[in-house]
Chains A and B, each alone.
Chain A
């Protein structure tokens, strides 16, 4: 057996572990807990549909609460997953291969979850119809719907293309063991892949085009989302840097989420040989740079606003930094921003558990920051005669938020029960390239696809 064949067999086995292994007690336990959270969220939504938005803490002034914070947050982490995969693919980074599938899966799952929130926030879902009938081309709301739906389709195609050869592998490998529905699914989705030169060429071209397309598309989605806030004259939102500020925050939380997904599936399926500390370190560096970038944007935003200090902006900054919401703000700054930066910057803490903890802190911190962007600007009064409006989320909003957070790992668990967790096709490509390079150098092939630490 050649070195390539031996390596291939090894990572193919690893990629198929979640598909062929019978789920254990931990899998079922987690699946049940997540499903229960989703069911509670669905019940809460049904209750909201029946009773109206008055069962939420939303009111006439704070009309965007948890729901719009969730929209910005989940779309943001989706963006981070897609862009991580696209940039690594375009730069041909050999270490990308084991993690692209997880990053893309996370991107699609969080996008699907995030895209539901505008509908939930509407109260009556049938009002979406009005947007298409009476939509204004000058309104960012209309463009937001266009951008999110386009991005969703592009993300699905982006994850599907490299999946075709792997689905064909499932079709051939699981022909006897899979049930009839699965066999039909694999046969249909593999599109008759045989691995001919023409098929590989067209697939690679499609993947490259999509990788190029997904980057500006993801940037535009988050920019349009930021303009929903930025084109208003509300204190705290009336800002020209909101689009890049949002994009940076999205990438920061997105890379954090990729690290979390990677850590969870690495632990669950013993993928240590393929997802190594090097992957965590490299993504940790990305987290560090993006965290510093976000810190820069935040300081730039607050500094210019604070320097001008219009009356309402002054009240808002005081509310967020020193007032009722100060604890949340400083929790984000210290826990969600400075801590992850420090963890990756200090060599002693640049380990898998610490980087995973830093990623968790970054992701939770970014949710908090989204909340602090959305709610205080609405709560702060625009009129000197009215007072600050208090917003308290109800059990309905909290349940729906928890359900959304649970839906992402739930979708990923189901997805990776059906399809290989590692892109075997991309691993092959990287391994072949490594072997060719080694042959050119006249040496024995080194450990393939950059898994050496």
Chain B
């Protein structure tokens, strides 16, 4: 009984090792390496940029029918990737998305192939130039043309006055509370020294 069990265990081990050998039908095939080439087209005035990417295998043959993800780097509160689209590669291994950036100048692009059972994941970077202006809407303005330009300045001036008043009150309070040079009792007469008087009154 014991011998039979040992033989069975040995047979199982041998079968397992054989199955894991490279080239074995039972072994898992290693995914093929892939590479991406990014070729973005600059964003002209009023039109979107075209972000195109081509996926190829290690031998340089194009890989069609696989999904690619397209990202553009945003820079608000630190760089991070914003997904702008997804496309399936054609027979030449190329997929493309159109994207209208609101950021003028250089935009960084990342294209990702997430990989599948037979193809290894890969990613590549590129960049395109966005030419302005990018705003497509017209802002509403104050209808009375004669005051349109200076009315915001008046409002801004009022805000400055309010902030100045706040700062003045705080400054005075802090100076007196923290024992500044003018600390004295309310009933105390103001100290006037000869040096402080105008020259003709000395």
A residues apposed to B, CB below 8 Å: 126-127, 129-130, 136-139, 143, 146, 150, 153-154, 157, 161, 164, 191-193, 196-203, 205-206, 209-210, 213, 217, 231
CB contact between B159 and one of A150, A192, A203, A209 (< 8 Å): that residue:
A150
Question: Known interface pairs A126-B76, A126-B77. Does A200 touch B166 (Cβ–Cβ under 8 Å)?
Answer: no
Instruction: List which B107-159 residues lie within 8 A (CB) of chain A.
Output: 139-142, 148, 152, 155-156, 159
For residue A126, which residues in chain B have a CB less than 8 angstroms away from its CB?
A: 76-77
Which 7 A-B pairs give the minimum distances between C-beta atoms? A197-B186, A191-B177, A197-B185, A137-B152, A126-B76, A206-B169, A202-B176
Closest A residue, CB atoms, query B172: A202
Which residues of A are found within 8 Å of B148, using beta-carbon distances? 138
Please judge, given known A-B contacts A126-B76, A127-B76, A231-B140, whether A198 and B166 are in contact too, CB under 8 Å. no
Give the complex CA separation of A197 and B165 in angstroms: 23
Contact of A197 with B162 in the complex, beta carbons under 8 Å: no
Select which of B163, B170, B178, B185 is within 8 A of A198 by beta carbon. B185
Chain B residues near A213: list those with CB within 8 A. Answer: 162, 165-166
**B173 adjacent to A203 (CB under 8 Å):** yes
Q: A227 → chain B, closest Cβ, in Å? A: 12
Instruction: List, in ascending order, chain B residues with CB within 8 A of A231's CB.
Output: 140
CA of A127 to CA of B159 in the docked complex: distance in angstroms?
24
- On whether the beta carbons of B185 and A196 are closer than 8 Å, the reply is yes
Q: Which residues of B approach A to under 8 Å, CB–CB?
A: 76-77, 139-142, 148, 152, 155-156, 159, 162-163, 165-166, 169-170, 172-174, 176-179, 182-188
Bound-state Cα–Cα, A203 to B183, Å: 13
Chain A's closest residue to B149 (CB) is: A137
Q: Does more than half of chain A's interface fall in helix, strand or loop, or is it mixed?
A: helix
In the bound complex, what is the Cα–Cα distance between A197 and B176 (angstroms)? 11
Known: A138-B142, A203-B173, A213-B165; 10 extra A-B contacts, CB below 8 A, are A126-B77, A129-B76, A137-B156, A138-B141, A139-B139, A164-B173, A164-B177, A193-B177, A202-B172, A231-B140
Contacts of A196 in B (CB 8 A): 183-185
Which chain B residue has the least Cβ–Cβ distance from A139?
B139
| Identity of the chain A residue whose Cβ is nearest the Cβ of B170 in the assembled complex | A157
Given that A161-B173, A191-B178 are contacting pairs, would A146 and B152 also be in contact in the complex, using a CB cutoff of 8 Å?
no
Identify the closest chain A residue to B148 (Cβ).
A138
Complex Cα distance, B172 from A198, in Å, reads 11
Cα distance, A387 to B188, chains bound together (Å)? 76
- Best-surrounded residue of A127, A157, A198, A231 (most CB of chain B within 10 A): A198
Given A192-B178, A198-B183, A206-B172, also A157-B155 (CB < 8 A) = no
* Complex Cα gap A200–B47 (Å): 65
Contact indicator B169/A197 (Cβ below 8 Å): no
Known contacts: A150-B159, A191-B173. The answer to whether A198 contacts B184 by CB under 8 A is yes
User: Which residue from A161, A192, A201, A206 sits with its C-beta under 8 Å from B179?
Assistant: A192
Q: 14 A–B contact pairs at CB < 8 A? A: A126-B76, A127-B76, A138-B139, A157-B166, A157-B169, A164-B177, A192-B179, A196-B185, A197-B186, A198-B184, A202-B177, A206-B169, A206-B172, A217-B162
Q: Are B139 and A198 touching (Cβ within 8 A)?
A: no
Taking a contact as CB atoms under 8 Å apart, the answer to whether A153 and B176 are in contact is no
Nearest CB in chain B: distance from A126 CB, A: 4
> A138-B140, A198-B184, A202-B172 are known contacts. Are A129 and B152 too (CB-CB below 8 A)?
no
Q: Which residues of B contact A191 (CB under 8 A)?
A: 173-174, 177-178
Chain B residues whose C-beta falls within 8 Å of the C-beta of A153 in the assembled complex:
163, 166
Residues A150 and B172 in contact, CB atoms below 8 Å apart: no
Query: Can you name the residue of chain A whose Cβ is closest to the Cβ of B165?
Result: A213
Contact A138 B152 (CB under 8 A): yes
> Are B186 and A150 in contact, CB atoms less than 8 angstroms apart?
no
CB closest residue in chain B, given A124: B76
